[in-house]
Amino acid sequence: MRKLTALIVDDSRLARNEIKELLKVHPEISIMGEASNVDEAYDHITNQKPDLLFLDINMPEKSGFDLLEMLEDVPVTIFTTAYDEYAIKSFEYNALDYLLKPISPQRLEIALEKAKDRFKEENSPKSGDRRLTETSQIFIKDGERCWLVRIEKIRLFEIVGNYTRVYFDSEKPLLYKSLQQVEDKLPEASFFRANRQQIVNINFIKELIPWFHGKLKLKMLDGTEIEVSRRQSSVFRDRMSF
């Protein structure tokens, strides 16, 4: 397995140095940079695309959560913080792990094992393509709740006014982007624009139903039925050889 590149984000130089020191016994992790604030971290991530993010939550001006909201493709994230009241909230983001400062070598090792397991699942390094992959993560914040969601877990995107509702597990938060912005980033092999209002993950389709005037209806695994427009029905038949 290739080395994993890591970015350390913390406003405390001592905290960053602590993580760097702990990582010296893990040659499988290559530290590609560090940042003392969210804006620096954003530049590093967008330009260098690290695999792994060690992210402090409570920083001046902008928090670690603010950083995640700025990103389109979120690296695998390990939260690091001295404030354990953030623990429950951070897991709601579906972070890979949560390390309480001062970080113990044993807890760090557990977190790194999780990271390596995650990248084994992906089988290949990030491509740098403008589109996301099935294993990419996106950040969604709706009110006080927020999530880090892997693209492959999302079964449906749907227009709600100027925004997009995202369906995964039992959740359906709003993403503050248009459906067209979402479609431009999705992996084409897994997602299909069924009509003007909806994009479906074809891996969640249970049944194709012939419908009126040459159209199709998709029955999803959760029981939802989605009518495909006439034009897109023809496109879908060609794509699926149906």
Instruction: Return the amino acid letter for 217.
Output: K
Is 136 contained in some domain? no
pLDDT tens for 67-109 read 998 988 889 899 998 877 666 565 556 667 888 899 999 999 9
Is 132 contained in some domain? no
How many domains, in total, are found in the chain? Answer: 2
Cβ partners under 8 Å of residue 72, min gap 6: 132, 138, 185
Domain boundary at 84, 103, 122, which? 122
**DSSP letters for 170-237:** TB--EESS-HHHHHTTS-TTTEEE-SSSEEEEGGGEEEEEE-GGG-EEEEETTS-EEEEPHHHHHHHH
Is 131 contained in some domain? no
First to last CA, the chain: 39
Is 139 contained in some domain? no
**Residue 46 near residue 31, CB atoms below 8 Å:** no
pTM of the model: 0.69
| Domain of residue 227, residue span | 152-240
- How far is CA 113 from each of CA 82, 120, 240, rounded to the nearest angstrom? 22, 11, 38
Question: Residue 28 pLDDT more than 90?
Answer: yes
Residues 25 and 104 in one domain: yes
Residues 58 and 164 in one domain: no
Residues 43 and 98 in one domain: yes
Mean pLDDT in residue range 195-212 = 95
Question: Residue 116 pLDDT more than 50?
Answer: yes
Instruction: Return the amino acid letter for 2.
Output: R
**Residue 64 near residue 57, CB atoms below 8 Å:** yes
Picking from 103, 50, 60, 96, the residue whose alpha carbon sits closest to that of residue 80 is 103
CATH number at residue 43: 3.40.50.2300
